[in-house]
Structure 1
Amino acid sequence: MAALAFQALPGFRDFTPRECAVRNYLFETWRSVARRCGYVEYETPIVEDTGLYLKKSGGELSSQLFRFEDQGGRDVTLRPEVTASLARLVAEHQRNFPKPLKWFEIGQCFRYEKPQKGRGREFHQFNVDIFGEAGPAADAELISLAIETMLAFGFVAGDFVVRVSDRNAWISFAEKHGIAEDRIPEFLGIIDKIEREKPEVLEAKLAALSLTVAEVKGFIADPANASPAYTAIKEDLTARGLGEFVELDLSIVRGLAYYTGVVFEVFDSSKSMRAVAGGGRYDTLISTISEGTVDLPATGFAMGDYVIRNLIEETTHAAMQMEVWLQRNFAGCDVYVVVADEEKRAESLKLVTDLRRAGISTDFPLTAAKVGKQFQNAEKAGARFALVVGAEYPELKVKILTSRTEASGTAENAVEWITDLLHQPDGPLLA
């Protein structure tokens, strides 16, 4: 078969119905965990003024922007992450809400980087943030939500770990070792890549700052270098029964320049892939973006759909949980109306309309077809029941497709007895 003239661009995805169902599973899990933890949903535009991201993102981000000039001559960018947009939104509207703000968004982002496992040029992120609370209790609350999200996806202790650090510990280290203030971002960038850098390259970069690999790795290995904020977070999470999921790891500093304190990343325990989620405290970003007119402490994290899906699919119990959800939610309909007698098509259409108005997902053949073919279509649609309308109308039969049994009733009360059947266990889908 010849290749199609047009295909999705590299790093971009089409979502077939099943892919949409998987995406919906991620979204519904994210949304349900956030809501039960007291967060409310917001949304920001996909396109923003480029200056918003050049203001204080730093790192590689500025070189990964999908940036262009619009028809009005404005320099705009498809958002590469949500935090800067959120900071702009909060700076403008925070006076209208009691503090602390606990907000979340599920949004699409774009970065021009090499597509690979766990990374594309477009992706969806679950972003959760707290504004107006400077203490470590907010960081602990945020980390607890990250843990609860992982548990909601079916992961258990031993599957993942939250690695927590504090940039302030490294800033103190830099000051003690005579690193100039204007070179601290460079130093933090080196630490951020310490696990991925070639040994000789790492040694050379640290030597340029009059440091040795032994000094840096010795600092990372010593738990005495944990900050008071980390200690408070650990105690908070232990009180919640979540302490086993958290460990100190001073090699975590995060790449974006706006982080100011505690930072963390969620990893699978084998570290077989990049971080599943990450975030931290960014107390100065709103002040920077608002040019000093609004100053609110903030902490937040993001979880991307690529990596969490990969981890789910590679973890047997989490994958099984997702498959059960898909079985229950991916079906095209609950009821498929089989028109066994074309002379009863008008009556069939009335039944279809009544069932749909009652909130029952219903489908039917648009044109005449053999009864056997209609049953095949019902099964392909994932229907649980086939409602047969034949010459016996108003008497009706329902074939329960999962158990190969049947029930009967009349058209007059079809909605009531079909509803009753839907709420009865009928096999694996409701087990």
Structure 2
Amino acid sequence: MAGFQSLPGFRDFYPEDFSRRQHIFRTWRQAAVSFGFQEYDAPVLEPLELYKTKSGDEIEAQLFSFKDKGDREVSLRPEMTPTVCRMVGEKAGALKRPIKWFSIAEFYRYERAQKGRLRAFHQFNADIFGEAGPEAEIELIALLIQCLAGFGLTKDDFYVRLSDRDLWFFYLEALGFTDAQARSVLTAIDRYEKAGDDAFKVYTEAHGAMSADKKEKILAFLQVKSVDALERTITQTIPGETVKESLKAGDFSAQVADVTAKALPLAMRLLDWKKVLARLEAMGLKDFVQVDLSVVRGLAYYTGFVFEAFDRKGDLRALAGGGRYNDLIKKLGYADLPAVGFAIGDVTTSLLIEQRGLAPAHGTAPQVYVVMGGEAERKAAFADIQALRAAGFRVEYPFKDLAFGKQFKAASESGAKIALIYGGDELAKGVVKLRDLADRAEREIPRGRVVALVRELLTGH
């Protein structure tokens, strides 16, 4: 009999793999807590309609969905956003704002398994609800950077590409595109990096040929890589001085007489851009952030700033992604509440830190290895072993009676820092011999002070 294998796209986590996964989770959790986020959890099974309401019927092909024994249509969760929106929506009136929540959970998508994408995976999700201004984006982008920098990754390893779907809609409207045409353009932009000029076929098939002038201005917008270039491109697109005057006013007071319906939202977006980039620079994160309008995120529910973290050196490409989704909670039938969030997966994160040589060693090695003689010595050692473990130290000892030579070899191979030796002579004198396994130095310590002296040696206090 050949036995059984795990299903395609699902993983077994042997102890070493599990230890590395826990290291990833600890790093993410530490970052979130340091930013003042609160952790939550939710059911792994949700009504299928929750995902259809958010993404439409086409999402069903990507889900592990089925009818349960109560004849309800349900699905294993493919993402956390609809669930957290449901949870926040149900108690929005009782929650102190801004609401800053995070989770680390497993998700399931029925799609072809490939490098960096599996059918079962874990994600860190962080969201801020109830903050309409760009302060929420600033906080989340800083947190995203810390979620990767916490592993020892630097600006040479990854960067965050920042874009803005609202700005695209304002810009395309100013160029004369209807809402439906603008959405087709964004679909083309989302595919442009991979497909090149062929990406615009989605537009021509739906709306006919695009004028050369409009296409040129769209491609020019794609090349924008700084907020100054962004301002120049927009002020050149809108006729007259309306955007420039709006920017000078800052507060958009009635003193600015020549502010048109098209100029005002563009000018306001530019001021938000300047705030986001200036405050991230003040945090020392300027080198991690790149203006990149080619990022539009394929999901239609995004309503403002969108961002993705990218591998700067390798082929992993997108490491994380998110953005503002102000309308989703209302769409699910709850109160209107602004929201921003992002998700980062464990599959690509694990690949990235392994590629950079930053994956930790297997983290379950003992700190203390106990070497012992016969039954009397074993009995005395067991009392101290239990006391050390109760104090939080990782302690191992040989299950069987072995010669001292074999025990010392096992102690050296275990990865422990110190060995405690319980022999007949030591037992008669009421002491334990402590050996530093790095330099083999030995000293005798009183039996009654084993825990205190081990703590001092291993923790420094």
Question: TM-score with structure 1 length normalisation?
Answer: 0.88
Counterpart residue number, 2:347: 306
Secondary structure at the counterpart of residue 8 of structure 1: coil
Does 2:439 correspond to 1:403? yes
Alignment counterpart, residue 375 of structure 1, candidates 389, 408, 411: 408
Contact 1:147/1:245 (CA < 8 Å) preserved in 2?
A: yes
How far did residue 253 of structure 1 move? 1.1
CA offsets per residue over residues 95-115 of structure 1, 9 Å max, x none? Answer: 222100111111111112222
The aligned runs of 1:5-154 (5 Å cut-off) are 5-57=3-55, 61-154=59-152
Counterpart residue number, 1:164: 162
Counterpart residue number, 1:216: 218
Aligned residue pairs total 412
How far did residue 254 of structure 1 move? 1.1
How far did residue 304 of structure 1 move? 0.7
**Partner amino acid for 1:47?**
L
Q: Distance in 2 between matches of 1:59 and 1:311?
A: 34
Does 2:335 correspond to 1:294? yes
Counterpart residue number, 1:205: 202
Q: Distance in 2 between matches of 1:165 and 1:285?
A: 20
Secondary structure at the counterpart of residue 369 of structure 2: strand
Counterpart residue number, 2:292: 249
Q: Distance in 2 between matches of 1:314 and 1:61?
A: 33
Contact 1:165/1:230 (CA < 8 Å) preserved in 2?
A: no
Contact 1:157/1:245 (CA < 8 Å) preserved in 2?
A: yes
Contact 1:274/1:307 (CA < 8 Å) preserved in 2?
A: no
Secondary structure at the counterpart of residue 194 of structure 1: helix
Bigger mean CA offset, 341-350 vs 32-41:
341-350
- Indicate how the Cα distance of structure 1 residues 196 and 37 shifts in structure 2: closer, same or farther if over 3 A, else same: same
Question: TM-score with structure 2 length normalisation?
Answer: 0.83
**Partner amino acid for 2:370?**
V
Counterpart residue number, 2:305: 262
- Indicate how the Cα distance of structure 1 residues 380 and 183 shifts in structure 2: closer, same or farther if over 3 A, else same: farther
How far did residue 303 of structure 1 move? 0.8
Q: Distance in 1 between matches of 2:407 and 2:120?
A: 39
CA offsets per residue over residues 114-144 of structure 1, 9 Å max, x none? Answer: 2222111111111111110001111111111
How far did residue 35 of structure 1 move? 1.0
Q: Distance in 2 between matches of 1:47 and 1:150?
A: 29
Alignment counterpart, residue 363 of structure 1, candidates 396, 404, 408: 396
- Indicate how the Cα distance of structure 1 residues 59 and 140 shifts in structure 2: closer, same or farther if over 3 A, else same: farther
Secondary structure at the counterpart of residue 264 of structure 1: strand
Contact 1:58/1:256 (CA < 8 Å) preserved in 2?
A: no
Alignment counterpart, residue 424 of structure 2, candidates 386, 391, 395: 391
Contact 2:86/2:329 (CA < 8 Å) preserved in 1?
A: yes
Does 2:272 correspond to 1:272? no
Contact 2:374/2:401 (CA < 8 Å) preserved in 1?
A: no
Secondary structure at the counterpart of residue 192 of structure 2: coil
Q: Distance in 1 between matches of 2:445 and 2:408?
A: 19
Q: Distance in 2 between matches of 1:343 and 1:153?
A: 47
CA offsets per residue over residues 279-302 of structure 1, 9 Å max, x none? Answer: 00000111111x1x3111000111
Counterpart residue number, 1:349: 382
Secondary structure at the counterpart of residue 90 of structure 2: helix
Q: Distance in 2 between matches of 1:305 and 1:104?
A: 15
Secondary structure at the counterpart of residue 143 of structure 2: helix
**Partner amino acid for 2:106?**
Q
Contact 1:129/1:301 (CA < 8 Å) preserved in 2?
A: yes
Secondary structure at the counterpart of residue 55 of structure 2: coil
Contact 1:118/1:274 (CA < 8 Å) preserved in 2?
A: no
- Indicate how the Cα distance of structure 1 residues 185 and 46 shifts in structure 2: closer, same or farther if over 3 A, else same: farther
Q: Distance in 1 between matches of 2:297 and 2:339?
A: 16
User: Unaligned stretches of 5+ in structure 1?
Assistant: 426-431
Contact 1:136/1:232 (CA < 8 Å) preserved in 2?
A: yes
Q: Distance in 2 between matches of 1:151 and 1:32?
A: 12
Contact 1:167/1:262 (CA < 8 Å) preserved in 2?
A: yes
What root-mean-square deviation, in Å, do the aligned CA atoms of Structure 1 and Structure 2 show? 2.4
Bigger mean CA offset, 120-129 vs 416-425:
416-425
Counterpart residue number, 1:429: none
- Indicate how the Cα distance of structure 1 residues 60 and 334 shifts in structure 2: closer, same or farther if over 3 A, else same: farther
Q: Distance in 1 between matches of 2:113 and 2:139?
A: 33
Secondary structure at the counterpart of residue 112 of structure 2: coil
Q: Distance in 2 between matches of 1:375 and 1:58?
A: 64
Q: Distance in 2 between matches of 1:173 and 1:59?
A: 30
CA offsets per residue over residues 245-304 of structure 1, 9 Å max, x none? Answer: 212111111122221111000112236222111100000111111x1x311100011111
**Partner amino acid for 1:45?**
P
Q: Distance in 2 between matches of 1:178 and 1:59?
A: 31
**Aligned sequence identity (%):** 40
User: Unaligned stretches of 5+ in structure 2?
Assistant: 225-229, 235-265
CA offsets per residue over residues 17-73 of structure 1, 9 Å max, x none? Answer: 111111111111111111111111111111111111111235974421111222222
Q: Distance in 1 between matches of 2:200 and 2:128?
A: 38
Secondary structure at the counterpart of residue 197 of structure 1: helix
